[in-house]
Amino acid sequence: MSEGRRGRGERAAAVDSPGNAGTVLVVLGVVAVLAGFVGILWAGFAGLASMALFGWLLLIGGAVGLVQALSSRRGEGFWPALVVAALNIAAGVVVLRHPTVVAEGLLMLAALLFLAGGLFRIGGAFTTHGRTMVWLLLLGLFDLLLGLLVLAEWPNRALATIGTFLSLAVLVDGLALIGLGLGMRRILGAFRTPS
């Protein structure tokens, strides 16, 4: 029996070693990059899937909040917790029943945030000097351009636009995971003693 336990412990130690963690990060990164590419190719489906996930998360969060609120009926925060749970459940139902309308609303909000962020960055650029000014100005102009591009397609391609944005985010996160995993392996390789 102790042989079996020792074998499992050694396997767990091998999986938990930092070098193997770097490999796991690389594998996860490759999966995320592939998922990002697939999402970009089928952006409308990716947007619909993200709305469905968002709706289910709201429903599950609302149900958990409702159970928590009802289990602490005598506490001070009962009514606020109950109202928040009910709002989460209602919002989840709306998202699941009308994903396109919700996507249009979220996309309009994103466009307005891009435009406002771009204006603030451009304004902030003129309060600084040197490279910081250039970078803030470029980021502000990019935000303005992105906001205008989103507004130009709104509401016709709301699901596809949200799907594209989320797929790009997954792709970039995957690239970051790959870089982190390779960097971790390279750094740890420098500390290994030759056998």
Mind listing the pLDDT tens digit for each residue in 95-105? 999 999 999 99
- Number of Cβ within 10 Å of residue 143's Cβ equals 20
Q: How many residues does the chain have?
A: 195
Which candidate, 33, 35, 43, 46, places its Cα nearest to that of 176? 33
Q: Specify if 28 maps to a domain.
A: yes
pLDDT of residue 194: 64
In which band, very low, low, confident or very high, does the pLDDT at 63 lie, cut at 50, 70 and 90? very high
Q: Specify if 115 maps to a domain.
A: yes
**Among 3-12, 55-64, 97-106, 185-194, which stretch is predicted with the lowest mean pLDDT?**
3-12
Q: Specify if 6 maps to a domain.
A: no
Rounded Cα gap, residues 195 and 121, in angstroms: 54
Q: Which residues contact 183 (CB under 8 A, 6 or more apart)?
A: 22
In which band, very low, low, confident or very high, does the pLDDT at 10 lie, cut at 50, 70 and 90? low
Rounded Cα gap, residues 122 and 143, in angstroms: 10
The pLDDT tens digits for 18-42 are: 668 888 999 999 999 999 999 999 9
Q: Specify if 72 maps to a domain.
A: yes
CA torsion angle 25 31 32 35 (round to 10): 180
Tell me which residue has tokens 């309308």: 101
CA 58 to chain centre: 16
Q: Specify if 10 maps to a domain.
A: no
Which candidate, 17, 5, 13, 50, places its Cα nearest to that of 170? 50
Query: Which amino acid would we find at residue 137?
Result: L
Residue 189 has pLDDT above 80, yes or no: no
Angle between helices 99-125 and 43-71 (to 10 degrees): 100
Give buried/exposed letters for 40-79 (b at 16+ CB in 10 A, else e): beebeebbbbbbeebbeebbebbeebbeebeeeeeeeeee
Q: Specify if 177 maps to a domain.
A: yes
Query: How many domains are contained in the chain?
Result: 1
Q: Percent of the chain having pLDDT more than 90? A: 57
Query: How high is the mean pLDDT of the chain?
Result: 86
Q: Specify if 33 maps to a domain.
A: yes
Residue 69 is part of which domain span?
A: 18-190
Q: What angle do CA 173, 176, 181 make, to 5 degrees?
A: 125
pLDDT of residue 75: 76
pTM of this structure: 0.69
Residue 174 has pLDDT above 80, yes or no: yes
Q: Specify if 67 maps to a domain.
A: yes
Q: Percent of the chain having pLDDT more than 70? A: 88
